[in-house]
Amino acid sequence: MSLVENLENIQKSIPEHVTLVAVSKTQPISAIQTLYDAGQRIFGENKVQEMVAKYEHLPKDIQWHMIGHLQKNKVKYMASFVHLIHSVDSFDLLKEINKQAAKHDRVIDCLLQIHIAQEETKFGMDEQEAESLLEVYKSEFPHVKVVGLMGMATFTEDESQVRKEFNFLKSIFVKLKSRYTDLEVLSMGMSGDFQMAIEEGSTMVRVGSSIFGERIYS
């Protein structure tokens, strides 16, 4: 099947209230352009340099989402154009995003990444950290807006484990949203688990290999 057919099949299978982020990391500009020509406008990358290079070569109405772990010293390279940062996992990182956004007179939308997986290696904060950040950031950081939460489930065949983790993230989202009404986006679900994530309340899915095919790392 072609890239565009893959995209259309996924679009058809997700409800209208769910936003599809096409995860284009490692994929060539030509493939992104093909999906752009088919109407896709939201693309996700996990490396800042790669996203900047693609931004420079592609139409300027693409909405670029940073979905990967982010180092503070890289924020400045994308602060002029990034549309949504999914991977805010510390107060210091949010502070740096605020500082760089101010230089461009922008407000950058962000998601707080919550640790829900069993693996130690997945980044993110816990509910208490997220809550204390939400409590204080607005008065200090006028150039960022936290609009939701993001999480990654454990990489496992055990579907009940994955479902439990999505359900857990959704419950945190509902709780925080009742106090912080800016929270609208719940980013959870990838190629292997996005249907389940939607059943558990996801409003934004990040899908790479089901659109582009398996990634080839060079």
Residues that bind ligand PLP (CB under 6 A): 23, 25, 46, 67-68, 152, 190-192, 206-210
Minimum distance of ligand PLP from residue 103's CB (angstroms):
26
Minimum distance of ligand PLP from residue 168's CB (angstroms):
18
Distances (CA, A) of 181 to 115, 128, 173: 21, 17, 11
**Nearer Cβ to ligand PLP, position 33 or 191?**
191
Strand, helix or coil for residue 21: strand
**Nearer Cβ to ligand PLP, position 93 or 141?**
93
Strand, helix or coil for residue 46: coil
Element (H, E) at 137: helix 127-140
- The C-alpha atoms of residue 185 and residue 2 are separated, in whole angstroms, by 30
Minimum distance of ligand PLP from residue 211's CB (angstroms):
8
- Measured from each CB, the residue nearest to ligand PLP is 208
**Nearer Cβ to ligand PLP, position 190 or 198?**
190
Which residues lie closer than 8 Å to 111 by C-beta, 6 or more apart? 84, 85, 86, 87, 88, 146, 147, 148, 149, 150, 185, 187
Concatenating the DSSP letter of every residue in 73-104 gives: GGHHHHTTT--EEEEE-SHHHHHHHHHHHHHT
**Nearer Cβ to ligand PLP, position 64 or 141?**
64
Minimum distance of ligand PLP from residue 111's CB (angstroms):
11
**Nearer Cβ to ligand PLP, position 122 or 170?**
122
Minimum distance of ligand PLP from residue 208's CB (angstroms):
3
Q: φ and ψ at 140, to 5 degrees? A: -95, -30
- The C-alpha atoms of residue 7 and residue 188 are separated, in whole angstroms, by 18
